[in-house]
Amino acid sequence: MWTVVYIAPTKKLAEKMERTLADEGVLVNLRPTNPDSERSSVEILVLESEAEEAHEIINQVLAT
Among candidates 17, 20, 28, 31, which has minimal Cα distance to 51? Answer: 28
Q: Nearest Cα to 56, choosing from 26, 15, 19, 12?
A: 26
CA angle (53 as vertex; 50, 56 as ends), nearest 5: 150
Instruction: Give the pLDDT of residue 39.
Output: 81
Residue 37 confidence (pLDDT): 78
pTM for the model stands at 0.90
Which segments of the chain have a pLDDT < 70? Answer: none
Q: What does DSSP say about strands 2-8 and 28-32: parallel, antiparallel, or unpaired?
A: unpaired
CATH number of the domain where residue 13 is located? 3.30.70.1530
> Rounded to whole angstroms, what are the CA distances from 53 to 10, 11, 41, 47?
22, 22, 22, 10
Beta bridge partners of 12: none
What pLDDT is stored for residue 8 in this prediction? 96
* Number of domains composing the chain: 1
Structural domain harbouring 33: 2-63
